[in-house]
Amino acid sequence: MTTALPTALFIPGEPLDLTSSLTSGQCFRWRVDDAGRWTGALGGDVVRLSPASGGAIAVESAPSPPDETAKALAGYFRIGDDLAAVQRRICWDERVSEGVAAYPGMRVLRQEPWETLAAFILSSTSNMPRISRTVELLAETFGERVTLNGAARRTFPSPERLAEAGESRLRELGCGFRAPYLAEAAAAVASGALPLDALRGAPYADALAALTSLRGVGDKIADCVMLFALDKTEAFPIDRWALKVLREWYGLPVNAKYAEAREWAWSRFGADAGYANQCLFWLVRQSTRPLRSIATIEPPQAERRAWP
């Protein structure tokens, strides 16, 4: 027997572009079909998002009812942030302005802390396709199966589950040298030694210290987790792309340390540094497929600002 498929309408009331928000390297499990419908696994649910007219989004989900999921989506996409206001505050920067113009509806996400930590531990010296593949394989192997109108997905496995799996099993699944890091992080979260969820309410410095106490988690990965899951919009993750941007567009000295670059970002963008970072990162990542061509992008001399 078939039942009518319940659908709810999610009306963000804010700029929201699913494509840039869901493909800009913050998350790894959303898939889009030819019709532009996005399918993901959110918490314990399979979720399907279908862009409708007027910026509305049709939501299907299971097992949670779609109207409940629609509310959760407001949190996931940080609809509480006034994106236009954020953009006005950081658009005086020419490069950030380019990013805003190119991706006007790109949101910074508020994802689940554990899944985000696990995914970014796996991101070390890797690339987006491989991260996605490994995350998906972990879900496929250890996650709970959930179905939506015949389509099946799996939830991201709990820390308990991955801790139980252990390093060797995680290696078998392609985690490589990150396997012990992931296993240890899972154990720390499962045991309560690392109160991940509580870090949402903690100051940046405290969250940073807690996260980097884990093996395999340094400044960059900690910043990703803080920005994409722990409500630290001031976090400014500096990967090799961001580093290249800082050096080539902003004149960051080659010998500058991570902490110095972070301080600079704060002096420039303050609490909006994370949004500025996302604009810059995705701009450079999209505009220069091969790493080598980035050197050809030089700002006009007049746009350069002296390094403080």
Partner DNA sequence: TAATAACCTCGCAA
Partner DNA sequence: ATTGCGAGGTTAT
Please report, as ranges, the residues that interact with DNA according to CB under 7 A.
24-26, 123-130, 171, 174, 176-178, 212, 214-222, 224, 237, 239-241, 255, 257, 281, 285, 291
Minimum Å gap between C-beta 213 and DNA is 8
Q: Which is nearer to DNA, 145 or 240 (CB)?
A: 240
Q: How far is CA 245 from CA 20, 93, 124, 153, 305, in A?
A: 19, 13, 19, 37, 13
Q: How far is the CB of 55 from DNA (least distance, A)?
A: 25
Tokens of 96: 């950030």
Q: What is the dihedral of CA 55, 279, 33, 116, to 10 degrees?
A: -110
| 3-state secondary structure at position 82 | coil
**23 three-state secondary structure:** helix
Q: Which is nearer to DNA, 61 or 278 (CB)?
A: 278
CB of 63 to DNA, least distance (A): 29
Residues forming the active site: 220
Nearby residues of 129 by Cβ (< 8 Å), 6 or more positions away: none
What's the closest the beta carbon of residue 141 comes to DNA, in angstroms? 14
What is the smallest separation between the CB atom of 229 and DNA, expressed in angstroms?
12
Beta strands in the chain (DSSP E): 8-10, 31-32, 38-42, 45-51, 57-62, 145-148, 151-154
- 126 or 141: whose CB is closer to DNA? 126
Write down the least CB distance from residue 109 to DNA, Å: 11
Minimum CB distance to DNA smaller for 142 or for 181: 181
Closer CB to DNA, residue 45 or residue 136?
136
With beta carbons less than 8 A apart as the criterion, state whether 227 and 277 touch: yes
Please say whether the dihedral angle defined by the alpha carbons of residues 160, 181, 232 and 50, taken in this order, is positive or negative: negative
Q: Is residue 126 exposed (0-12), middle (13-18) or buried (19+ Cβ within 10 Å)? A: middle
Burial (CB < 10 A; 0-12, 13-18, 19+), residue 105, is middle
Buried b (16+ CB within 10 A) or exposed e, 244-280: bbbebbbebeeebeeeebbebbbebbeebbbbbbbbb
Helical residues (DSSP H) of 251-294, grouped into ranges: 258-269, 273-287
Q: Which is nearer to DNA, 149 or 168 (CB)?
A: 168
